[in-house]
Homo-oligomer: A and B are copies of this chain.
């Protein structure tokens, strides 16, 4: 079968090892010179994990078209196999975030076992009330949790509660709620009554949530609604999370904000008020572009991780947001993009650990803006590639995951097993 073995990885690593050693040693000396402990940093990097979304291993698309690649996963078991490859090579993604009803199966114990066989567990469960499914009684065309029709809202609530049930069966501890509800015309819906219906519906879901679960509320400025979105910004998300109670928190997707907004400050605000629940990592230039993490604004990602590090220092170990990648891979092999993204996220996070927090605080206190900025940026300017490679290596992963993946022939192998998918001519323009 297509699995990538430890031997194969070791074999691939061998040729890269000498160069890696030289680079890592040089970096370690440089870090030590700055008073940092390279070994501790490697251990810290090994401990980091970010979930991948089950749907992310399929090729994405736009309303204009979708161009599938070879070997598209046919079902959640294929998706798990692909996710397994990502984690085997990067050792960064031990959990998968599933989406229902897309990932529905008959037997969830079997699904959990299948994941385990690939070395995977399940992270936050995602509900879906932004599409109509075949056989669905009531349509979400005009909303789901905020629909004016009580029956439609109840159907959406029931779906979310079912997701919690499935989540319990597969070992998840969180429900992520993103809805497309909103309006395309000024006047189409009452901005206030729609929000009130959201509060009511999510309260019903909240009541069904186990005590050790989190409910992650995801906001988004626009799309699929283009005039107003019910949960459009962190302010709305916060109001809802506060209304619901301590198990409800806000989820920040890096692409769901208005242009020019300072996202790292939003992160700081939510963390400060105990409502930062999790992240959807990706990158974007225009809207919710769902591009690969750090491919557009690597410094922004770094600044987000700096705020996370600050929050950790301020709040302590109880501060533990859920990390997930959420991207649309339209022109790359999704496995490659997810590996690359996980690495870039690990890079930004590792860089953020290099900041001298005490010196930074002192420069801030003294209003020495340039020194403070240079201290903050020092982590970003450090090439930590060898450090995160060392972490992968020690955890059993590949020094060069993408080259190793390509050498493995995995994609060609699954393309032989999985039938080709026709290009989508959605006709949606």
- A binding-site residues for B, Cβ under 8 Å: 19, 22-23, 26, 29-30, 33, 55, 58, 60-67, 102, 130-134, 136, 139-142, 148, 180, 183-193, 195-196, 221-224, 226-229, 232-236, 238-239, 257-262, 264-266, 268-269, 271-273, 284-287, 289-292, 295-299, 303, 306-307, 310-311, 314, 328, 330-333, 336-337, 340, 360-361, 363-367, 369-370, 372-377, 380-383, 385, 402, 422-429
In the A-B complex, list the 9 residue pairs whose CB atoms are closest, starting with the nearest.
A187-B376, A235-B235, A258-B258, A132-B423, A67-B141, A226-B289, A26-B26, A61-B428, A185-B373
Alpha-carbon separation in the docked complex, A344 to B190 (Å):
23
CB contacts (< 8 Å) of A30 on chain B: these are: 22-23, 26
| Neighbour of A187 across the interface among B232, B258, B375, CB < 8 A | B375
What's the least CB distance linking A96 to chain B, in Å? 15
Q: Is the CB of B55 within 8 A of A427?
A: yes
Q: Jot down 17 A-B pairs with beta carbons below 8 A, ordered by A.
A: A19-B33, A62-B223, A66-B426, A67-B141, A141-B423, A184-B289, A185-B291, A191-B310, A196-B272, A223-B287, A226-B284, A232-B262, A235-B238, A259-B260, A295-B377, A337-B370, A383-B383
CB contacts (< 8 Å) of A64 on chain B: these are: 130-131, 180, 223-224
Alpha-carbon separation in the docked complex, A188 to B428 (Å):
26
Q: Is the CB of B132 within 8 A of A188?
A: no
| Neighbour of A273 across the interface among B148, B239, B258, B336, CB < 8 A | B239
Which of A29, A269, A361 gathers the greatest number of chain B CB atoms within 10 Å? A269
**Chain B residue, CB-CB nearest to A422:** B134
Copies in the complex: 4
Which of A67, A102, A331 gathers the greatest number of chain B CB atoms within 10 Å? A331
| Neighbour of A192 across the interface among B185, B268, B360, CB < 8 A | B268
Q: Is the CB of A429 within 8 A of B328?
A: yes
Alpha-carbon separation in the docked complex, A61 to B66 (Å):
14
What's the least CB distance linking A377 to chain B, in Å? 7
**Chain B residue, CB-CB nearest to A302:** B186
CB contacts (< 8 Å) of A328 on chain B: these are: 63, 428-429
Q: Is the CB of A261 within 8 A of B258?
A: yes
What's the least CB distance linking A290 to chain B, in Å? 8
Extra contacts, 7 of them, besides A184-B331, A192-B269 (Cβ < 8 A), are A23-B30, A186-B264, A189-B372, A233-B235, A235-B269, A374-B402, A424-B428
CB contacts (< 8 Å) of A65 on chain B: these are: 130-132, 140, 180, 224
